[in-house]
Amino acid sequence: MTSKPDLRDPRSKYPQPPFPVQPQPAPGLAREMDPRPDHGEASYRGAGRLAGRRALITGGDSGIGRAVAIAYAREGADVAISYLPDEEPDAREVIALIEAEGRRALALPGDITDEAWCRRMVEQTADEFGGLDILVVNAARQQFRETVEEFTTDDFDKTMKTNLYALHWIVQAALPLLPAGAAIITTASVQAYDPSPILLDYATTKAGIVAYTKALAQQVIEKGIRANVVAPGPFWTVLQPSGGQPDEKVAHFGENSDFGRPGQPVELGPVYVLLASPEASFINGEVYGVTGGKGIA
């Protein structure tokens, strides 16, 4: 008996704006969002594509990182997630979801703007899992400012350290531990190519992530390691209502995509699975845009 294919109009598959105004203090919690983001908790189905693998995902408590953690666990990987201590309620849910798949889970609360912590959490992951072969650097800071005059040195410092410095520190710590066949995946943004004026510092770091990863890919392929970038467009994550966008933009977030809605984190999970999997053995230094039809150019 042939099962009926799941054919639905992608425009109406997930919630569409307008959304309620819902400001939160940074870093925010996904559980407080309305509608709650779909990270694949009830829908993602694994197929053993990452069986026996060992992954570290930064920003794994919510948003894209949470969707990737769920997908990786259901594909057979052990998963460590890093997150800020304030995000513990969301992180506990992710740890439970990983363990429900019979996989090992490691919670790593800490601040990735601290170089020593970045290096220590990589070591802890490898010690706990007996190695490391997937690194997903995803955690990010996004806080809008209306004018260039409002972007303080402190703003720049926090955004650069969260989005760029931490990437460098984590990669440096991980490289001696990664075997041939391992994968590094970073998270950039459509903002790297089409920056919003109110996200000046964030967009700058996302462009930097693209350049850094492309350069890194040329180095690490000499060790048999691949490095690639995912560049999302508007995705419904807690970054938006916790200061990433003005309230009025949160209410209409994603409506200018070709789909009339923002993407849900679950829609990114398969891309990160592909880039980590053996099927992607000839993919290196690439940028995968998932932008809701707007492209990256």
Other beta carbons within 10 Å of 183: 27
Q: Is the pTM of this model over 0.85?
A: yes
Instruction: Specify which residues 106 forms β-bridges with.
Output: 80
Residue 297, domain member (yes or no) = no
pLDDT per position as a tens digit, 141-155: 999 999 999 989 999
Q: Which of 202, 212, 272, 288 is catalytic?
A: 202
Higher local confidence (pLDDT), 52 or 1? 52
Residue 181, domain member (yes or no) = yes
pLDDT per position as a tens digit, 167-215: 999 999 999 999 999 999 999 999 999 999 999 999 999 999 999 999 9
pLDDT band of 1, cuts 50, 70, 90: low
Residue 252, domain member (yes or no) = no
Residue 222, domain member (yes or no) = yes
Residue 36, domain member (yes or no) = no
User: For residue 259, what pLDDT is reported?
Assistant: 97
> What is the rounded CA–CA span in Å between residue 260 and residue 37?
16
User: For residue 296, what pLDDT is reported?
Assistant: 87
Instruction: Say whether 83 is catalytic.
Output: no
What CATH number is given to the structural domain containing 118? 3.40.50.720
> CA separation (Å) from 199 to 60, 223, 253?
23, 36, 15
> What is the rounded CA–CA span in Å between residue 136 and residue 68?
9
Burial 106-131 (b: 16+ CB within 10 A, else e): bbbbbebbebebbeebbebbbebbee
Q: What is the DSSP string of 12-50?
A: SSS--S--------TT--GGG-SSPP--STTT----STT
For the chain, the domain total comes to 1
Query: Structural domain of residue 154, as residue ranges?
Result: 48-235+266-289
Residue 115, domain member (yes or no) = yes
Task: Give the residue from 276, 281, 283 showing the smallest Cα distance to 53.
Answer: 276
Residue 2, domain member (yes or no) = no
Higher local confidence (pLDDT), 26 or 135? 135
Residue 93, domain member (yes or no) = yes
How many Å is the Cα radius of gyration of the chain?
18
